[in-house]
Structure 1
């Protein structure tokens, strides 16, 4: 429900972030989670639960919109990957903890935990400094310089990144000022059409969508949501289903942290292709194994099924799950960023909602063997496209990634004089 309600939220949330800043948007998301959680905890029927989930649309839309902005703009290229992958891992922490609470305690205890975590987050948002990238887009270059140096230091790479950022935005603001004077009645529509057909926009959007589509069409999110039903159908045991669900959730979290460590040593592209290939292989093996059980060629074994599901989970966790958010954040262009994250969030939430809704249909009409085969073939298609076209983004600034995609270097260094180095007012 929250995935569908997130689609309209994905339209206006990036616009709020562009107009009022990242800090205001984070506060809005925190308030949304708080209100939805109170409704969830106080609910006494299905209607209240549906309202609670639907009201989480802003939060769901923020996962690949505001998260993309904040994680890419506040962190240096050297450490951006590890922060983004760790952020992705926290999502499945929530699934694991919620399933554990629901298994051993009353389900309303989930609401208490969420309330505590969200209250802490909401308070911390009020102490955030604004994004240096957003400050630069608004022409507030002195504040941008101070915040950028406070966040990323004053080493040579950081100063070069700051230099390119300010030069790029000064050029953009000048062009924007000239264009505004010539704007016609239909200027906004013409501007939007020019943006979406621009190579600087559609190429990063296509590249950023590929790992996301691979993630969802691998069936991992469906396996996480419907884990209890899947394991119950494979093992025909309710007790084993609950045990297997918690084991798989734990393996998923561990696999994501293994992937976080690996991403420090190998490139994004190589890690994505290697582990996605392993995940697709496990999907095919699972499908063949279940087909053999269906035709009574072999007898089913709980531990074999669990082992194959664990292998699939670890492979996908080390690949597309943690790298989907990282690649999306790193490929988001500085210019047209609001349009970019808006379109990406709409695509992502549409695919998420669709895959979650069609999964029960696949389970019912094609069985578990056919479902795993479908996900294996679907993931294989996106994996081939990624192998052929996906660019490398590791340890590059947003500006450098954009230049490598478009093939045009617009911002030679040394065009401006930055503020003299001094202790920023944001430091404690």
Structure 2
């Protein structure tokens, strides 16, 4: 009986305890929801701040793309229209190439400016000669002034190129860096498209006047932005660096303080191991390896025709007339610029999902196949297929843009160590633009010697060679911090396939 009574007795729970439990649960739920909202708000502010920096660089990049594409609409107008400054092939090759003759000097000066004055100020300074160059072109009365305007504009492009990529690379977070550093390359393509479009219905002088708009806006916008935190730390401006990082990280002061301290620790470690900067730093393992990788990639990129198709778009496309039908080469040139712009955006998006290596090799294979097909098709002089070569030119441009156009700029922002990022970036662009000047200057004569089919065969072979090189040597840097990448290049070995490094040390880097 007692046992039965005991078993039948229900446990008692005080009403006050239930009430406290419900209240605590409600408070916890409310607190969690509030914290989640705060995190989401912080994330939105963080992305917005880094996007604003990128947008400013995009203005600068688009303004640099316009003089690159300008020769494609300028040369036909000066050659074939009744213009007082009519030109021949010799002068035309100088007009197309001289822009790249001054760019190496601008790139070298950019490296010094970035280290001495900061990334942001270097970009602002770059806008001034570009505005001056366009003014010279617009009001030129002879070929000498026109060439001088192109030269000054080229110097400006050299100043801005590396500075923009370094600025974004040092202000963005690892998971956003690939996308954000590639977007300026899309705006660069937009600048080419814009100048093609303007040149299709405006005289070349009016196009030059209109082209001053973007660099003027860019110059003003940079006044509203903070300097690179990396540069500020390396010049002893810790409070400014912390404030800049607080804004860039959505107001999260703890994260800003943590990142600032990390930059300080890296700087102290470098100071202890390296001491003062010397030219020998360029030959250190962590510098020379990315220098080799980037410059070989840039050389293969040039030989694959990435920029030649921009400089000589209308001229090259004039060879695509097969049979009796005639293609409107200006329209096809604008179409190639539009495809370049669209696929540069597509490439930027892909960088958020796939690795640099995959994108680079896919781009190279597509470029190689389409270029080799075009060379063979034009060599055979097939009749009755007028629009087939034009279609494959668009496929070639799309494939080439997807990785070969946008990746060198992305890699420049990622591969070099902080202590020499500005100088090595400027040096890389100097070498690149020196080669660009040489290839664009000799292109008309090479085309005359080997024919347009030989030109596309050369593009195809260079692209295939680049694929092989990138497969063996290019490391995967997606979602890796700049410190991790720097540490990777400090290890022995050069090949990515076997890494030249211990697997247990770098499995996390490979993944």
Q: Paired residue for 2:121?
A: 24
Q: Deviations over 1:202-223 (max 9, x none)?
A: 0111222243233222112111
Q: Paired residue for 1:208?
A: 294
Provide the rounded CA distance (Å) in 2 between the counterparts of 1:334 and 1:308. Answer: 41
Q: Deviations over 1:46-100 (max 9, x none)?
A: 2211110111233221344212321211222222222222100112212222122
Provide the rounded CA distance (Å) in 1 between the counterparts of 2:395 and 2:447. Answer: 21
Provide the rounded CA distance (Å) in 2 between the counterparts of 1:240 and 1:307. Answer: 14
Size of the aligned set, in residue pairs, is 393
Conserved 8 A contact 1:235-1:241: no
2:205 to 80, 105, 108: 108
1:336 to 420, 426, 435: 420
Conserved 8 A contact 1:235-1:301: no
1:222 to 285, 299, 308: 308
Conserved 8 A contact 2:363-2:402: yes
Q: Paired residue for 2:166?
A: 69
Provide the rounded CA distance (Å) in 2 between the counterparts of 1:160 and 1:300. Answer: 66
Structure 1 residue 301, shift from structure 2 partner: 2.5
Conserved 8 A contact 2:242-2:256: no
Provide the rounded CA distance (Å) in 1 between the counterparts of 2:294 and 2:269. Answer: 26
2:140 to 22, 27, 43: 43
Q: Paired residue for 2:175?
A: 78
SS of aligned partner of 1:56: helix
Structure 1 residue 264, shift from structure 2 partner: 1.4
Distance 1:389 1:321, change over 3 A: same
Provide the rounded CA distance (Å) in 2 between the counterparts of 1:239 and 1:211. Answer: 34
Q: Normalized against structure 2, the TM-score is what?
A: 0.72
Distance 1:305 1:400, change over 3 A: same
Provide the rounded CA distance (Å) in 2 between the counterparts of 1:133 and 1:291. Answer: 53
Which structure has the larger Rg over C-alpha atoms? 2
Q: Paired residue for 2:404?
A: 320
1:165 to 263, 274, 297: 263
Structure 1 residue 251, shift from structure 2 partner: 1.4
Q: Paired residue for 2:32?
A: none
Q: Paired residue for 1:389?
A: 473
Provide the rounded CA distance (Å) in 2 between the counterparts of 1:229 and 1:94. Answer: 20
Conserved 8 A contact 1:252-1:313: yes
Conserved 8 A contact 1:232-1:238: no
Q: Does 1:363 align with 2:461?
A: no
Structure 1 residue 156, shift from structure 2 partner: 8.6
SS of aligned partner of 1:108: helix
Q: Paired residue for 2:491?
A: 407
SS of aligned partner of 2:204: coil
Deviates more, 1:234-243 or 1:304-313: 234-243
Q: Deviations over 1:213-262 (max 9, x none)?
A: 33222112111211111111221677521221111111111111121222
Conserved 8 A contact 1:11-1:342: yes
1:398 to 461, 478, 482: 482
Q: Paired residue for 1:270?
A: 358
Conserved 8 A contact 1:275-1:315: yes
SS of aligned partner of 2:357: helix
Q: Normalized against structure 1, the TM-score is what?
A: 0.86
Provide the rounded CA distance (Å) in 2 between the counterparts of 1:219 and 1:156. Answer: 48
SS of aligned partner of 1:27: helix
Structure 1 residue 135, shift from structure 2 partner: 0.8
Q: Paired residue for 2:240?
A: 143
Q: List runs of 5+ in structure 2 lacking aligned partners.
A: 1-97, 493-511
Q: Paired residue for 2:185?
A: 88
Q: Deviations over 1:171-206 (max 9, x none)?
A: 334566xx46xxxxxxx8xx21x2122101101112
Provide the rounded CA distance (Å) in 2 between the counterparts of 1:387 and 1:157. Answer: 36
Conserved 8 A contact 2:170-2:229: yes
Conserved 8 A contact 2:238-2:260: no
Distance 1:44 1:213, change over 3 A: same
Distance 1:311 1:67, change over 3 A: same
Distance 1:372 1:159, change over 3 A: farther
Provide the rounded CA distance (Å) in 1 between the counterparts of 2:115 and 2:261. Answer: 22
Q: Paired residue for 2:331?
A: 243
